[in-house]
Amino acid sequence: MGHANEGFDGALFGVQILADLKHPEVNAAYLTQGGLGLPDRDYYLQADYADKKDAYRAYIAKVLTLAGWPDAKAQAAAVVALETRVAEASWTNVEDRDVTKVYNPRTLAQLEQEAPGFAWGAYLKAAGLPDTFVVAEITAFPKLAKIYGETPIATLKARAAFTLIDNAAVYLSSPFAQASFDFHGATLGGAKAIEPRWKRAVRAVSGGDFLAGDRSESFGTMGWAVGEAYVARHFPPQAKAAIEALVANLRSAFRVRIEQAAWMSPETRAEALKKLAAIRIKVGYPDTPRRNYAALVIDPTDLVGNALRAGAFEWQVRRDLVGKPVDKGAWGMTPQTIDAYNGGPANEIVFAAAILQSPDFNPTFDAAINYGDTGSTIGHELTHSFDDSGRMLDATGALRDWWAPADAETFKSRTKVLGAQYAGFEPVPGHHINADLTMGENIADLGGVLTALDAYHASLGGKEAPVIGGLTGDQRFFLGYAQSWRGKNRPDAVTRQLASDPHSPRHYRVDGVVRNIDAWYAAFGIKPGTKLYLPPEARARVW
């Protein structure tokens, strides 16, 4: 299990290398709960997912049978029973969002005393980690260690065999790859056909989810090398300059929103402005190369070996960061990743080159469309620094409560209005949006659009926006935002997202947002009685 980070093996625990939340200038190792093959603990514990759990049990049996494992059906049942116990002991994904609860510094001696039953010393040695670290789900670890200690060796071996094959399946022969897709892609995601082999090969080198096409921060085999080639071909310096100018406008607009937040005390506002000014903006690609792959051995005849060596190479790079100063130039995703993120303790926002391409952004587009689409994304990431989790970090990225108590209570009361709205949305019959899980993203969506709209208005320099195609500037802005979330998802994929993803489904990232924005009502003449209408007093007003 200690080697799980560098290969295909599975583990009951995970490891992340992140900035220390109390000392964000230094990297620390975080130990997290793990051990679940289904998307979320609810899949094991709630009757609504019983069919998925049954399908998982059958998938394990099939994989073990393909590998020639003895008594595969019985062992599959034992593995699912083990993981069900793990699910019962695990924190919910809502609990995991509380940054004040997932920061628990420990030493090896402390963990051995608090969570007996697991060979922590051997695990840390195999993982190449020091004897000091941060434990995330602190109350779950004793339970997980106890479960491990009570589980028969035969079950542990069967699970180790299954997780090894399951993680490697995309690189193996067709029977394994097809079985993996049939479960992960079709049963859990609703996909109808496995991707062509060439597309899976591209993902293997560049990074991404092989089975369902989900966004992923996976680095792939040589993701940074691909990134350099991608940038050279698709992201010229002038594109980076155009985005940086847009980002500067968004930051200015958000500063005005903080300055005009009448509910904030002067002391809290001063800290918020200090944090906003300190946010580092990274656009397109890193300023310096992030990997030198000279030492990575690639053999055209050894696909699985290539993947293993690449995994070990990447893990060594990350593991060697523990205890060292945080690299301010580091990136958490490759340039070809279609995504952006807020770095939390790093107090930075990052926009990969791939999300800054058509149809999301183009310097020749109408400004209203660019602000509605990419501008809202930039505003979204800025707002994350002040959402329900981000607000707990100060300008240096440290975990510190810098809010006046009355301001914090006001903020919470405002977010509850938004949460109540999202809790009422039912994207799939019987499955509602988890407002607590998605709160941070919903706050960021709303704040992002509001900030982008302000920035768009400011960009006009006091002039009236042109009418194009019979549409006003504000109308085009909102249409640009709506168009940014175009996409298709099957019900099974949405159900999986509702259980495990902190983002609301696409449809509600549009309709759930605009109904809280006064300018949207004015732009389209929305009147009482229409589907999305909310009276002014019922609209959520956070940022």
What is residue 43's three-state secondary structure?
helix
pLDDT at 241: 87
- Assess whether pLDDT exceeds 50 at residue 431: yes
Where is pLDDT greater, at 369 or 213?
Answer: 369
| Mean pLDDT score, 184-201 | 92
Reference 350, options 438, 434, 281; nearest CA is: 281
Cα–Cα distance measured from residue 344 to residue 225, given in angstroms and rounded to the nearest whole number:
26
| Mean pLDDT score, 187-204 | 91
Tokens standing for 539?
């609209």
**Tally of CA atoms within 13 A in the half-sphere of 72 that contains its CB:** 15
State which amino acid sits at residue 149.
Answer: G
Cα–Cα distance measured from residue 522 to residue 474, given in angstroms and rounded to the nearest whole number:
9
Cα–Cα distance measured from residue 281 to residue 341, given in angstroms and rounded to the nearest whole number:
11
* Cβ pair 495, 188 in contact under 8 A: no
Reference 269, options 125, 158, 378, 404; nearest CA is: 404
| Mean pLDDT score, 404-409 | 97
Burial class (CB in 10 A: 0-12, 13-18, 19+), 346: buried
| Mean pLDDT score, 12-37 | 96
| Mean pLDDT score, 448-455 | 98
- Assess whether pLDDT exceeds 60 at residue 211: no
- pTM for this entry: 0.93
What is residue 75's three-state secondary structure?
helix
- Assess whether pLDDT exceeds 90 at residue 228: yes
Reference 90, options 1, 12, 162; nearest CA is: 12
State which amino acid sits at residue 69.
Answer: W
Burial class (CB in 10 A: 0-12, 13-18, 19+), 266: exposed
Domain segments of the chain: what residues? 4-182, 226-290+330-538
Cα–Cα distance measured from residue 94 to residue 102, given in angstroms and rounded to the nearest whole number:
12
State which amino acid sits at residue 231.
Answer: V
* Cβ pair 69, 49 in contact under 8 A: no
Burial class (CB in 10 A: 0-12, 13-18, 19+), 435: buried
Alpha helices in 90-193 (DSSP H): 108-114, 120-127, 140-150, 153-168, 174-180
Residue 41 contacts by C-beta under 8 Å, 6 or more apart in sequence? Answer: 87, 88, 90, 92, 93
Burial class (CB in 10 A: 0-12, 13-18, 19+), 182: middle
DSSP string, 396-408: TS-B---S-HHHH
Q: What is the pLDDT of residues 466-485, one digit of tens each?
A: 999 999 999 999 999 999 99
Reference 495, options 428, 416, 450, 408; nearest CA is: 428
- Assess whether pLDDT exceeds 50 at residue 210: no
Tokens standing for 366?
């109408």
| Mean pLDDT score, 409-415 | 97
Place of tokens 């690299």: 327
Burial class (CB in 10 A: 0-12, 13-18, 19+), 7: middle
Reference 543, options 450, 452, 464, 472; nearest CA is: 450
Q: Which long-range contacts (CB under 8 A, 24 or more apart) does 296-300 make?
A: 296/222, 298/221, 298/222
Place of tokens 């020091």: 130
Cα–Cα distance measured from residue 28 to residue 324, given in angstroms and rounded to the nearest whole number:
8
| Mean pLDDT score, 534-543 | 97
* Sign of the C-alpha dihedral computed for residues 239, 314, 157 and 135 taken in this order: negative
Cα–Cα distance measured from residue 250 to residue 380, given in angstroms and rounded to the nearest whole number:
10
Q: What is the pLDDT of residues 72-104, one digit of tens each?
A: 999 999 999 999 999 999 999 999 999 999 999
What is residue 107's three-state secondary structure?
strand
pLDDT band at 208 (very low <50, low <70, confident <90, very high): low
Q: What is the largest CA-CA distance in the chain?
A: 75
Cα–Cα distance measured from residue 251 to residue 381, given in angstroms and rounded to the nearest whole number:
11
Reference 158, options 10, 285, 28; nearest CA is: 10
* Cβ pair 176, 63 in contact under 8 A: yes
| Cβ neighbours, 10 Å, residue 289 | 12
What is residue 372's three-state secondary structure?
helix
Superfamily of domain 226-290+330-538: Collagenase (Catalytic Domain) (3.40.390.10)
pLDDT at 220: 67
Cα–Cα distance measured from residue 431 to residue 424, given in angstroms and rounded to the nearest whole number:
10
User: How large is the C-alpha radius of gyration of the chain?
Assistant: 24
pLDDT at 240: 86
- Provide the CATH topology of domain 4-182: Neutral endopeptidase; domain 2 (1.10.1380)
Size of the chain in residues: 543
Fold: same for 4-182 and 226-290+330-538: no
Give the chain's mean pLDDT: 94
- In this structure, what DSSP letter does residue 117 have? T
